[in-house]
Each structure stands twice: as structure tokens, then as C-alpha cells.
Amino acid sequence: GENVEQHPSTLSVQEGDSAVIKCTYSDSASNYFPWYKQELGKGPQLIIDIRSNVGEKKDQRIAVTLNKTAKHFSLHITETQPEDSAVYFCASPTGNTDKLIFGTGTRLQVFP
């Protein structure tokens, strides 16, 4: 089955700097890669996703890049703000199903 590895587990940046979180997956048939942000006491919120027919997708300060050959995808946050502080999870479906396998999470702290 699918295995998703996520790095780093924690990331501390200064406000205004960029943050990059990387995930690798094992199932070459995977074609959908969402990123979720989970704030303390809340459920995960989808922030951006990408499908395998594109290599990059941007939404304001957030971007996701996908390298299907290397089987990894990354979340890029530019001009970080304190409100970006949260735990971020990547995910990928297993096999030809809707079941998402989640990475282990990255705790991002943005210091003012």
C-alpha cells in the first residue's frame, strides 16, 4: 500500500521568510496530492492540492510542486506570517481509491 513520508517534523522561521515542506510517496499510481493545515483545536483544512497532470500550482503565498519521476511533492509558503503557524499534513490516496494516507505532519512556527 501507499506510504507517505514527510519532512521536516518541525520548522521554525522568521516572519517574512519562506518555508518548504517535502513529502515523498511510494505508489506510482497516485495522482492526487492535497495539503492540509491544522490549527490547535480544529480539524484539518485543505489549503491547496495538485493533480498529477500539472507540475506546479500557486494560490497567493502558497504553492505546491510535484515531481512524479522522483515521487515527491512540496509545499512552499512565501512571506510567512505568524498566523501560518500550525501543523501541516500532506496526503496521497492509496491505490485506485479515495482513501487518503497522511504524512506524519510538520509543525511550523513563524516568529514575529
Partner 1 sequence: SAVISQKPSRDICQRGTSLTIQCQVDSQVTMMFWYRQQPGQSLTLIATANQGSEATYESGFVIDKFPISRPNLTFSTLTVSNMSPEDSSIYLCSVEIVTGETQYFGPGTRLLVL
Residues forming contacts to partner 1 in the complex (CB under 8 A) are 32, 34, 36, 41-46, 49, 89, 98-105
What's the CA gap between 48 and 29, in Å, rounded?
20
The smaller minimum CB distance to partner 1, of residues 58 and 99, is found at 99
Specify the residue, 69 or 97, whose C-beta has the smaller distance to partner 1: 97
Pairing of strands 62-67, 4-7: unpaired
Q: How far is the CB of 64 from partner 1 (least distance, A)?
A: 14
CB of 34 to partner 1, least distance (A): 7
Closest distance of CB 103 from partner 1, Å: 7
Please identify, using beta-carbon distances, which residue of 72 and 102 lies nearer to partner 1.
102
Buried b (16+ CB within 10 A) or exposed e, 36-46: bbeeeeeebee
Compute and round to an integer the Cα radius of gyration of the chain.
13
- Smallest distance from partner 1 to CB 46, Å: 6
Provide the 3-class DSSP secondary structure of residue 28: coil
Neighbouring residues of 60: CB distance < 8 A, sequence distance ≥ 6:
none
Nearer to partner 1, 14 or 60 (CB): 60
